[in-house]
Structure 1
Amino acid sequence: MAEFIRGGASLPHKEKFNITNGCEDVLDSLLTEDFDSFVNEHEDDVTDVNVFTAPPDNLITAVCGDFYIGGRQFDSLPDLIAYYTYRSDLLKRERLIYPVAPPEPVNDKKRIVAILPYTKMPDTDELTFQKGDIFFVHNDMGDGWLWVTAHRTGEQGMIFRELVQDLDENIDPNTVFNWFHPNLTKSEAVDLLVKAGPGSFLVRPSDNSPGDYSLFFHINNQIQRFRIEKRGVRYLMGGRTFECLDAVINRYRKEQIVEGHTLALPVCRSTSEADAPIKSKEVQQAEKIYTTLRECREQVGLKKMKGVKMQSYLYKKSDKNKKWKSLYFVLICFDGNAAGGTGDTHLYFYDNPKRTKPKGLVDLSCAYLYLVDDSVFDRPYCFQLVERALPCLATITYLSAGSLELYQEWISTLRTRCITQISRSPKAQNLRELRCLQLNILDAQRLPYKIAPNPYFVISLNQVKVAKTKVKNNGEPFSDEQFTIDDVPPDVLTFTITLYNKGKRSKDTEIAELTIDLNTLTNGDESEDWFSLSGITPIGEWGAIRLRIRYLHDLIMPIEEYSPMLQLLLDPDLEAVKTLSDVCHLDRMPLANALFRIFRYEQKEADLLKSLNEMEIDKEDETSTLFRGASLTTTIMDLYMKSVCTNFLQVALKDTIYKLLESKTSCELNPSKMESPDDACSNAEFLLQILDEVALSIFRSVDSCPRTLRYIFGCLQRAVMNKWPHERLVRTRVVSGFVFLRLLCPAILNPRKFNLISESPSPTASRSLIMVAKCLQNLANLVEFGGKEPYMEVVNPFILKNKERMIVFLDQLSIFKILIEI
């Protein structure tokens, strides 16, 4: 049972639809008999009786002629209703069936007429029009601009309010066409066509069928009439439906309306009749109107829109081709008391800032914000907005920022605009709920490799993918992969780990899954256990995975409450930071992220890293293990280098990576991984060529490295030289451990994650990247290949040749600090 009501809209461009949902048997009983008697009759099994209430109104948002609901976009309101009547459920297993007429007619399309002509500005959404053109108004854009549809051309765009006036409701909008004669009698129409001759035509209102139209056509020395039926906002003739009356005429100007004949010569109204839609209002102030228009032109555009809270370019993933496209996003909060406002918050996206009509929108009043691990799309700074406006429909918008700063700004802004947290007691109203899930996939056993030869795992919250593991080929073992999922949305009660098989040509296949209830996890405690996977059939062996899980569920105070804590953290001695570093081993990643954001915002990240590095050096006794393990210091250094070294990586590596991607020759030296032993010589020659090129590119990229990072490297060198003055190469290895081990080599291994490429490399290119990274790492360590990998010894001449150059490069990279002090 479903009904929809087209209620009287409070605004001409907004419509609300009330959906009544419920169990048909129960509702029929409630409608046909008294409710109390119904309950008394079922008092023995009262637990089986449920009262169903209508859900909240499903709001349809109209913007610039388009209609949005649940993340879907429709060209017109009839299209939207038709979609949820014939193609899809608006509520689960229910569709729109019985249209209910409004109590009073609703005129939702205001009509206006141009009193002056206008020529649009290039590269804008403005319309060019003539005096007397008629428009249907969709939205008031503010600052004197309206979004309209031109009746004559069907185009949509903006016009200036001062160039038009309201159209008399009694005037037919087809008056804009000069071949339409609204006041012509039948006999007068015949006389005009006789004078005009064969092939002439005109249109007038129908006498026999009020509301319809008659097309008069002079053919074979006689006048023939054709009826054009008006159905709603469309026109019907010859079994065909047209959007406007002009479309009917244009079709039969090209196609035969009678065998051997097309409409040829329109009989037009006189000049005085053509100006009929325009009232006698004087337009002597035309020059003043155009002057005002020129001034208002500068205010048109997204930067001047009211209610804008944030705007910038973001990348949006296409649902069709899965590519990322740069679009301009604008967050607008409408004031419910303002004219045309609804009190809603929408995220609009446009082709560029000059455009006024959006390509789409996200309704944040029914959207949840999901953060995304870099592993999902092999690119950083991604997040998702999930709209749940309809019970059976969730629309996901995948977004990515171009930098860490922009990402953090959007996240902090959107977090407060999306669905609010669960209501709390008055004393806790200012607290924010923070839920964090730390998940380590340690191992996997007995997986069904016959149906999943290339397995990987996907982590999902409410069926929204937030992280995934690397694909394993040919039964490779699963190693420890760690994921930290911050800001788990408040509606998430479980998380799911799904086993997929990577398809080579077909889509990836879902094999088995595991669902874990968050309520079964102890807040703050870490647990480790094996979990069995369940597959598509209840019988069979689907394997098991070993997980280490830590779930944090806290309430966060407002930022002003943290001022004393902030002062402690920013103290020049950094005693609080050092204490946290000693006690927060399990919370290393969340602590590193928090400290990095705080000190980066205060522009004191160099002081933080310098002090932490010196603290780490003071604790270490052996140079061989210095900065080799995962610690708070190395984690923050990784975050900092990744956030500031984008240009450095592009200058040093991009050309080499693209050459490997485009080349058909492999750098593989391992005989067991070669397709043919005959490839050994050509592969080795190609690898050495690539190594020479990438080494030269890296050595020449010193000036592209950020100065603050070079300052930190200089401080590192001075600190280790003071502690180990007799170790000649310690100053070299301490810098190479960060530059190569934690930055350049990871970027070579996974260039997409570092925004160096947009698509994943082929298996051959991936293996070549691994070989190049491996050789560069040995060069950075100043170590030659030994007997364990005899096939790699062909690279040793390259390492010997470039050892001194590597030492000079690392010293140049760290000389900035020394030059400042000198």
Structure 2
Amino acid sequence: MAEFIRGGAGVIPVTKEKLHGSPSTGSDDGQDGLAVDEFDPFLADNEEAESSNASLLVAPHENQWYHGRLDRYTAEERLYEASKLGSYLIRESDRKPGSYVLSYLGRTGINHFRITAVCGDFYIGGRQFDSLSDLIGYYTNITDLLKKERLIHPVPPPEPVNDKKRIVAILPYTKMPDTDELSFQKGDIFFVHNDMGDGWLWVTAHRTGEQGMIFRDLVEDLADNIDPNTVFSWFHPNVTKNDAVDMLVKSGPGSFLVRPSDNSPGDYSLFFHINNQIQRFRIEKKGVRYLMGGRTFECLDAVINRYRKEQIVEGHTLIQPAMNEEDESFAKPKEIDHAEKIYATLRECREQVGLKKNKGIKMQGFLNKKSEKNKKWKSMFFVLLVEGSDTHLYFYDNPKRTKPKGLIDLSCAYLYQVHDSVFDRPHCFQLVERALPCLATITYLCANTADLAQDWISALRPLCITQMTRSPKVQRLRELKCLQLHILDAHRLPFKLVPNPFCIISLNQVKVARTKVKTGLDPLFDEEFLLDDIPPDVLSFTITVYNKGKRSKDTEVAELTVELSSLTNGDEVDEWFKFSGITPIGEWGSLRLRVRYLHDLIMPQEEYSPLQQLILDPSLEVVRALADICHLDRIPLANSLLRIFRHERREAELLRSLNEAEIEREQETSTLLRAASLTTTLMDLYMKSVCTGFLQAAIQDTILKLLETKQSCELNPNKMDSPDDACANAEFLLQILDEVTLSIFMAYDSCPKTVRYICGCLQRSVMNKWPNERLVKTRVVSGFIFLRLLCPAILNPRQFNLIAEPPPPMASRSLIMVAKCLQNLANLVEFGGKEPYMEVVNPFILKNKERMVVFLDTLSNVTEKPEPDEARIKGDPARDLGTLHHICCSHLSELQALSKEQVGIHELIITAFWSSIHSLK
């Protein structure tokens, strides 16, 4: 409904959908017959206003539920006096000033929920809010606080609370670049959120609405009776309504001013002179924010700046403020005669500011975090902080920032590892916050190396929720659960409902692994997963079948659950398991699984000391024996052995000895070190963990180029869009191959010295055994460097942390072509008649054969064992020794057969036996 207000300039339409009272027209409050009207305009772009934060618009005012600093007992008394289910209040903690508590009276009685306040943000239940009003609005209108319970009845304090501290700048300041500091002028007023320590405060500037840090010595406290908006030239706290009209008449059309509202204390009135009219607009104060026209603003100045640029009523914007030079309501800051001393103190304290210098820091560094909005990974700086009973993981855009982008409360978090298959990248794990019963917040994190991931997991796990309560007799022991799961094939899935099935494996409804998408009536998955370090409270695993949507979302179709108690510890099971459907339609088919479940208790590390000595014995007799008999346990055995030896910085000795033993057994050079053995698995794991820098220097630029280009490298005519593309594709492929080989050959010095030393040992060993075969020393090194490292990294760059997102289809095919060509070059063979379209690459191979030989000889030219390239890894030796102990017990009969000939194996059996006795005590 539009109402027309008449004035000297004619008729001006004003929208009236959201009036805060009836308009007053005429000369009661006016001057010289000018019309004066007060309302909240609902402007032409009301769709934007409707979409503004709904929780702010409908949340009760802070005065209705905020009680200031209050103890738990008094808070509970006030809630009981209200005697209504759904009653609530927010209070500042009396035990920990600066943090807040939401006290709520529900069906189960009174609950107190901690609210963590950091740098102007508020965290509860794994969610982040800009203000307490936002938080109240969210749990009032958007979601439940407890199951089927929301905030309903605010409990007001006995008298209004005003504990918001305000300060005023006594000196100006210009911020340091790339920090969270604020620049400000003398006289600026701030609202204080947090004391950061070391003389720094986290504040909101009233003039700009910006949040940031300021130094305490640059400000002084501001009296409660002074309105913070006094810093603005257009604000007049002591001007009457009639005086305001007089000032605007003198200032002329387009002038404006703001004064406190008479009708609504705490709010403000904007007076605006439009030709022969004075119109008044109400600006509502909501906590530390301002509302006008259905929009939310950070500060009063933001309201004025918006309507200086946009129409406040049709055809009119705010132009010039009405000035009142006689208004002395605001006391100017005093002059400071020791300013230089204050600035000098500030410079000394700058380096000590923020959480990242806190004594409670247990670990800090960069991790990749998956964004909830765009699903992409972003590198962020993480700080693990322990302060008393509070344990938080903060994350920042960069180390210079003081205000975190968010935090994770570890006191209500569970840690689960994530299999590489979920995001097609390694070294991922997740923290699942369950602070509130009806909300679980999941944060996915990823490290750039396996060692870094293990270091973070080792630091975080003890601080997360203990996922099972144990009896006092076994509190000194830790559980080790491991699941080897091989999803083979499905039978009689309803094809019409599931034309493109894939499976997701979950533990406690937390997704930890997934298969690739398949097609066909009875899809063959044939995918194997090793789920290591399963949390102790996990009693079953669930496999859910989804259908991959082409344009719509993936749909959940059926599931099966396997109880871990139904599996015999250490034994392999190969069975069909029936699905149950999400909707009952009859037969849902079944899934064939091959499962091996390991469950053991880990003792303190000192209990494994005899086993550790046998494993680390220079003869490596025990390691070689385990390599020969533990084929099913090859991967967990390799992981544990590598971590144990790297913890002692003896990885070079382990890898060199096992390589030499395998070369000694081999009779044919064509199959040398090509099979999947403990030796090759150890080499794969080690190279992948330490060669990230080498991969970045050698191939990352080429991979990024193929991702960005629109030109394909495809040579297979059956996969080309058009046969006419063959020449251009071949030319581009040869160009890429020249570039990537040059990059690889130039990057030899980036390869870790330990890897190069092991390659040199390989060359010397094969030359001693096959002295007349010139190329064997080249192929033995290229088999590892190219076939097991560089080519897999080119084929799956995301799994090696070289790119953040999956490559598009054309780039994937180009990467396959490049890897295929480098593989032949590494084998020193040209393409033959089976793939005639690849023969165009043969001149490239012939040209680079000798260069390949020289490169691999140069890379392997390290004759003395170097110090390990990395610092001693932290790891968890007890966990890895516990794994080895369990493997020994699982293969006891094979070890007993070997012990008749090898003394060291006999000692191993005795050691394993006594360790088992100790674990039972």
The answer to whether TM tops 0.5 is yes
Bigger shift: residues 56-65 or 265-274: 265-274
Q: CA deviation at 1:381?
A: 2.0
Q: How does 1:391-540 map to 2 (within 5 A)?
A: 391-448=437-494, 452-472=498-518, 478=524, 480-539=526-585
Equivalent residues of 1:181, 1:269 under 8 A apart:
no
Q: CA deviation at 1:449?
A: 5.0
User: For residues 3 and 557 of structure 1, do their structure 2 counterparts lie closer, same or farther at Cα, with a shift above 3 Å needed?
Assistant: farther
The amino acid of 2:403's aligned partner reads: K
1:15 aligns with one of 97, 100, 114: 100
Q: How does 1:134-149 map to 2 (within 5 A)?
A: 134-149=189-204
Aligned to 1:40: none
Aligned to 2:383: 330
Number of aligned positions between the proteins: 779
1:633 and 2:686 equivalent? Answer: no
Q: CA deviation at 1:639?
A: 0.7
Aligned to 1:2: 86
Per-residue CA shift, 1:585-611, capped at 9, x if unaligned? 332212211221222233221111011
Per-residue CA shift, 1:765-803, capped at 9, x if unaligned? 434444444454444445566676677677667666655
User: For residues 4 and 266 of structure 1, do their structure 2 counterparts lie closer, same or farther at Cα, with a shift above 3 Å needed?
Assistant: same
Per-residue CA shift, 1:536-569, capped at 9, x if unaligned? 4433664433222122233323445545544443
User: For residues 578 and 107 of structure 1, do their structure 2 counterparts lie closer, same or farther at Cα, with a shift above 3 Å needed?
Assistant: farther
Larger relative contact order (Cα-Cα within 8 Å, sequence gap ≥ 6): 2
Q: CA deviation at 1:488?
A: 1.9
Secondary structure of 2:805's aligned partner: coil
Q: CA deviation at 1:333?
A: 1.7
Aligned to 2:121: 66
Q: CA deviation at 1:176?
A: 3.8
Find the aligned partners of 1:240 and 1:400 in 2 and give their Cα distance.
Answer: 39
Find the aligned partners of 1:764 and 1:206 in 2 and give their Cα distance.
Answer: 64
The amino acid of 2:372's aligned partner reads: D
1:76 aligns with one of 131, 151, 155: 131
- TM-score under structure 1 length normalisation: 0.83
Structure 2 residue runs without a partner (length 5+): 1-84, 867-921
Equivalent residues of 2:501, 2:545 under 8 A apart:
yes
Per-residue CA shift, 1:655-710, capped at 9, x if unaligned? 554555535445343x6666677877876776666656655654555444333212
Equivalent residues of 2:234, 2:321 under 8 A apart:
no
Equivalent residues of 1:592, 1:632 under 8 A apart:
yes
Equivalent residues of 2:574, 2:595 under 8 A apart:
yes
Aligned to 2:753: 707
Aligned to 2:18: none
The amino acid of 1:578's aligned partner reads: R
Q: CA deviation at 1:477?
A: 6.2
Aligned to 1:264: 320
Find the aligned partners of 1:245 and 1:807 in 2 and give their Cα distance.
Answer: 72
1:154 aligns with one of 199, 209, 217: 209
Aligned to 1:344: 390
Equivalent residues of 1:257, 1:263 under 8 A apart:
no
1:545 and 2:629 equivalent? Answer: no
Q: How does 1:6-45 map to 2 (within 5 A)?
A: 6-10=90-94, 13-22=98-107
Q: How does 1:110-125 map to 2 (within 5 A)?
A: 110-125=165-180
The amino acid of 1:113's aligned partner reads: V
The amino acid of 1:494's aligned partner reads: S
Q: How does 1:553-702 map to 2 (within 5 A)?
A: 553-654=599-700, 656-658=702-704, 660-661=706-707, 662=709, 664-669=711-716, 694=740, 698-699=744-745, 701-702=747-748
Q: How does 1:269-280 map to 2 (within 5 A)?
A: 270=326, 273-275=329-331
Per-residue CA shift, 1:731-752, capped at 9, x if unaligned? 3433233223322332232222
- TM-score under structure 2 length normalisation: 0.75
Bigger shift: residues 343-352 or 293-302: 293-302
The amino acid of 1:304's aligned partner reads: K
Per-residue CA shift, 1:313-365, capped at 9, x if unaligned? 22222222222222222222223xxxxxxx31111211212211111111111
Q: CA deviation at 1:455?
A: 3.8
Bigger shift: residues 417-426 or 135-144: 417-426
User: For residues 269 and 609 of structure 1, do their structure 2 counterparts lie closer, same or farther at Cα, with a shift above 3 Å needed?
Assistant: same
Find the aligned partners of 1:240 and 1:760 in 2 and give their Cα distance.
Answer: 40
Find the aligned partners of 1:17 and 1:693 in 2 and give their Cα distance.
Answer: 61
The amino acid of 1:539's aligned partner reads: I
Equivalent residues of 1:132, 1:274 under 8 A apart:
no
1:95 and 2:150 equivalent? Answer: yes
Find the aligned partners of 1:611 and 1:731 in 2 and give their Cα distance.
Answer: 17
1:755 and 2:840 equivalent? Answer: no
User: For residues 510 and 559 of structure 1, do their structure 2 counterparts lie closer, same or farther at Cα, with a shift above 3 Å needed?
Assistant: same
Aligned to 2:873: none
1:293 and 2:340 equivalent? Answer: no
Per-residue CA shift, 1:32-74, capped at 9, x if unaligned? xxxxxxxxxxxxxxxxxxxx566x6332222111112222222
Equivalent residues of 2:248, 2:322 under 8 A apart:
no
User: For residues 205 and 560 of structure 1, do their structure 2 counterparts lie closer, same or farther at Cα, with a shift above 3 Å needed?
Assistant: same
Aligned to 2:363: 310
Equivalent residues of 2:283, 2:290 under 8 A apart:
yes
Find the aligned partners of 1:413 and 1:103 in 2 and give their Cα distance.
Answer: 46
Secondary structure of 2:217's aligned partner: helix
RMSD: 3.9
The amino acid of 1:516's aligned partner reads: V
Find the aligned partners of 2:420 and 2:176 in 1 and give their Cα distance.
Answer: 42
Structure 1 residue runs without a partner (length 5+): 23-51, 336-342
Find the aligned partners of 2:236 and 2:729 in 1 and give their Cα distance.
Answer: 81
Secondary structure of 1:80's aligned partner: helix
Secondary structure of 2:372's aligned partner: coil
User: For residues 653 and 557 of structure 1, do their structure 2 counterparts lie closer, same or farther at Cα, with a shift above 3 Å needed?
Assistant: same
Find the aligned partners of 1:701 and 1:270 in 2 and give their Cα distance.
Answer: 74
Equivalent residues of 2:714, 2:720 under 8 A apart:
no
Equivalent residues of 2:236, 2:327 under 8 A apart:
no
Find the aligned partners of 1:215 and 1:604 in 2 and give their Cα distance.
Answer: 75
Find the aligned partners of 2:607 and 2:811 in 1 and give their Cα distance.
Answer: 52
Equivalent residues of 2:754, 2:865 under 8 A apart:
no
Per-residue CA shift, 1:215-273, capped at 9, x if unaligned? 67789899988776666656677888766554565566665689979573433355864
Equivalent residues of 1:667, 1:686 under 8 A apart:
no
Find the aligned partners of 1:474 and 1:691 in 2 and give their Cα distance.
Answer: 37
Equivalent residues of 2:711, 2:729 under 8 A apart:
no
Identity of aligned residues (%): 73
Equivalent residues of 1:714, 1:818 under 8 A apart:
no
Bigger shift: residues 178-187 or 806-815: 178-187
Find the aligned partners of 1:524 and 1:216 in 2 and give their Cα distance.
Answer: 80
Find the aligned partners of 1:612 and 1:376 in 2 and give their Cα distance.
Answer: 33
Q: CA deviation at 1:491?
A: 4.1
Per-residue CA shift, 1:395-434, capped at 9, x if unaligned? 2212222233322221211122222242333343343333
User: For residues 222 and 631 of structure 1, do their structure 2 counterparts lie closer, same or farther at Cα, with a shift above 3 Å needed?
Assistant: closer
Equivalent residues of 1:217, 1:263 under 8 A apart:
no
Secondary structure of 2:595's aligned partner: strand
User: For residues 647 and 434 of structure 1, do their structure 2 counterparts lie closer, same or farther at Cα, with a shift above 3 Å needed?
Assistant: same
